[in-house]
Amino acid sequence: MCGRFALTLPNDAIAQLFAAQPANDLPQGPNYNICPTTPVHVVSAGEGIRRLQAMRWGFLPHWYKTETAGPLLINARAETLAEKPAFAEACRKRRCLIPASGFYEWPRASRGRRLPWYIRRCDDAPLAFAGIWQDWRQHSGQNGGQDCGQHDSQATCAIVTTAANQSFLPIHHRMPLMLEPQDWSLWLGESGKGAASLMQPGPEGLHLMHRVAMDVNSSGPADPR
């Protein structure tokens, strides 16, 4: 599960890290409280180049007539990614990387309260979440079953998750699929087939976790807490 995350790197540093060509409309940071449905940085590959662009965090299947026509799909389970109708084609053709500096989880504490924790790498290196993406068009009207207009397409994405490893289990039973630099090319489809081999919990002991202020429960604050 991943419901909020942070990204503190400047756009030029992200583009350099992933050897990607940056778009002109990237979100500005740093942002310590990135929320679902907002634009996020996404690295995709095609035609021999990598691109860094903004996409809506919240995958929209092509059959959604509006952004709220079905469940909000911010995460996609690795175990069923290739089988779910919403994700199957994107799993084969449109995999991506979603940069992050860390992310948040809310384990249940005493008296049933959920308290926010922040998770980052021990070496403070950036994270690369495995993701999938989809171009989506909102149907602006129908006439006798025929579309009578469409808005411009919107790029949308979801973060792939796996079962938690042992060190992460005290926080949550699911965790984002986080890829090491040597695996980025395979996930993006630049190195041929075999991306399915990456869809498993990461190594133990790579991450640190600490409690943060309850302010992160709100979508407003975007500064360090």
Going by C-alpha positions, the residue among 154, 99, 109, 165 that lies closest to residue 131 is 99
- Please answer whether residues 165 and 174 qualify as being in contact, where contact means their C-beta atoms are separated by less than 8 angstroms: no
Q: Answer yes or no: is 144 within a domain.
A: no
CATH code at position 34: 3.90.1680.10
User: What pTM was estimated for this model as a whole?
Assistant: 0.90
End-to-end CA distance of the chain: 21
Number of domains in the chain: 1
Q: Answer yes or no: is 10 within a domain.
A: yes
- Please answer whether residues 164 and 201 qualify as being in contact, where contact means their C-beta atoms are separated by less than 8 angstroms: yes
Q: Answer yes or no: is 224 within a domain.
A: no
Q: Answer yes or no: is 223 within a domain.
A: no
pLDDT band, residue 223 (cuts 50/70/90)? low
Q: Answer yes or no: is 182 within a domain.
A: yes
Residues assigned a catalytic role: 2, 105
pLDDT in tens, 172-194: 899 999 999 999 999 999 999 99
3-state secondary structure 75-119: EEEHHHCCCCCCCHHHHHHCEEEEEECEEEECCECHHHCECCEEE
Domain that holds residue 30: 4-138+151-217
Query: 34-43, 113-122, 168-177 — which one is most confidently predicted on average?
Result: 34-43
Q: Please tell me the predicted confidence (pLDDT) of residue 146.
A: 47
Q: Answer yes or no: is 96 within a domain.
A: yes
pLDDT in tens, 58-112: 999 999 999 999 999 999 999 999 999 999 999 999 999 999 999 999 887 766 6
Instruction: Report how far residue 91's alpha carbon sits from residue 187's, in angstroms, rounded to the nearest whole number.
Output: 10
Q: Please tell me the predicted confidence (pLDDT) of residue 148.
A: 44
Q: Please tell me the predicted confidence (pLDDT) of residue 140.
A: 57
Q: Please tell me the predicted confidence (pLDDT) of residue 142.
A: 45
- Tokens at residue 65, please? 């007539």
Distances (CA, A) of 48 to 20, 51, 56, 190: 11, 10, 24, 8
Instruction: Report how far residue 164's alpha carbon sits from residue 204's, in angstroms, rounded to the nearest whole number.
Output: 10
Q: Answer yes or no: is 161 within a domain.
A: yes
Q: Answer yes or no: is 44 within a domain.
A: yes
* 32-46, 87-101, 198-212, range with the lowest pLDDT: 198-212
Instruction: Report how far residue 138's alpha carbon sits from residue 79's, in angstroms, rounded to the nearest whole number.
Output: 29
Going by C-alpha positions, the residue among 88, 11, 85 that lies closest to residue 51 is 11
pLDDT band, residue 141 (cuts 50/70/90)? low
